[in-house]
Amino acid sequence: MSRVAVVTGGMGGLGEAICIKLSKMGYRVVATYSPGNSKHAAWLAEMKQQGHDFRAVPVDVADFDSCQKAVAQITKDVGPVDVLVNNAGITRDTTFRKMEKEGWDAVMKTNLDSVFNMTKPVIDGMAERNWGRVINVSSVNGQKGAFGQTNYSAAKAGMHGFTKAAALEYARKGVTVNTISPGYIGTKMVMAIPKEVLDSKIIPQIPLGRLGKPEEVAGLVAYLCSEEAAFVTGANIAINGGQHMQ
């Protein structure tokens, strides 16, 4: 039977592209969405028309109990989770001087606590089956920092610290844990930035001279999920068009 892949925040932007790519690879794909999001039925129907028979499960990734219940439901209805893509995230951008505790907490809980909340109920099962993949979607701004994003940059940097430690603990069990750090990708969120800002402020920072494509990021995730990537663990792979090099 084909393996099960869970993509948090799977219904838009990068998440959707990752779901589609993993589906084409033969995975049974489950996308999570925020409770109260009424668009999931329409999204599932649209994806089915394109030939992708996804499942969708509501979960508050910032809440540990919600994640436990969601994973239990997925395991019951679809099967044990073999691939987890921690993609869900939010921004609450403002300078640190103006940042309120609420904005800090919201970003840390959704972007960093979620990695613990979703990984905890699946990774031991992966280890017992001697195969598993955890991919944490960080950001170029977790590598280099960004003005007005102390909360976001801290959370995204923290994801890779988690990656390295978990990779060490589970390596001998056939479970790899990796981070990817996308730069500016042409998602709906980025394309909503005024064109003059994109053209004058963002694109000039990117040596390739363009935004990335969601499909390009999905291709990197697909590689890390593959058998060919079994020797890659604890890595942070940049995919940013040369915007930031280490």
Q: What is the pLDDT of residue 48?
A: 95
Average pLDDT on 181-195 reads 88
Q: What is the pLDDT of residue 213?
A: 96
Q: With left for phi above 0 and alpha for psi between -120 and 50, is residue 36 left, alpha or beta?
A: left
Average pLDDT on 200-217 reads 96
Q: Render pLDDT for 126-145 as a digit per residue (tens, 0 to 9).
A: 999 999 999 999 999 999 99
Q: How many domains does the chain have?
A: 1
Catalytic residues: 152
- Mean pLDDT taken over the chain: 95
Q: Which of 13, 2, 55 is nearest to 218 (CA)?
A: 13
Q: Which two tokens stand for residue 88?
A: 């869900």
pTM surpassing 0.85? yes
Q: 33 Cβ partners below 8 Å, 6+ apart?
A: 9, 10, 11, 40, 56, 57, 58, 59
Provide the pLDDT confidence category of residue 13 given band limits of 50, 70 and 90: confident
Burial class (CB in 10 A: 0-12, 13-18, 19+), 45: exposed
Domain that holds residue 154: 4-239
DSSP 57-78: EE--TT-HHHHHHHHHHHHHHT
Asked if the structure places residue 186 within a domain, the reply is: yes
Q: Which two tokens stand for residue 146?
A: 């960004």
Asked if the structure places residue 166 within a domain, the reply is: yes
Residue holding tokens 């994640």?
Answer: 67
Asked if the structure places residue 211 within a domain, the reply is: yes
Looking at the DSSP bridge assignments, the partners of residue 175 are: 132
Q: Which two tokens stand for residue 10?
A: 């799977």
Asked if the structure places residue 244 within a domain, the reply is: no
What gap in Å lies between CA 190 and CA 176, rounded to an integer? 30
Of 22-26, 167-171, 189-193, the least confident: 189-193
Provide the pLDDT confidence category of residue 194 given band limits of 50, 70 and 90: confident
What gap in Å lies between CA 237 and CA 172, rounded to an integer? 21
Task: Write the single-letter amino acid at 205.
Answer: Q
Asked if the structure places residue 245 within a domain, the reply is: no
Provide the pLDDT confidence category of residue 1 given band limits of 50, 70 and 90: low
Q: Render pLDDT for 28-74 as a digit per residue (tens, 0 to 9).
A: 999 999 998 888 999 999 999 999 999 999 999 999 999 999 999 99
Asked if the structure places residue 10 within a domain, the reply is: yes
What gap in Å lies between CA 121 and CA 238, rounded to an integer? 27
Asked if the structure places residue 110 within a domain, the reply is: yes
Q: Which two tokens stand for residue 48?
A: 């089915």
Asked if the structure places residue 151 within a domain, the reply is: yes
CATH number, residue 148: 3.40.50.720
The share of the chain scoring above pLDDT 70, in percent, equals 100
Q: Which two tokens stand for residue 85?
A: 């893509």
What is the b/e burial string over 48-69, where b = at least 16 CB atoms within 10 angstroms of the residue's CB? eeeebebbbbebbbbbbebbeb
Q: What is the pLDDT of residue 37?
A: 84
Average pLDDT on 90-116 reads 96
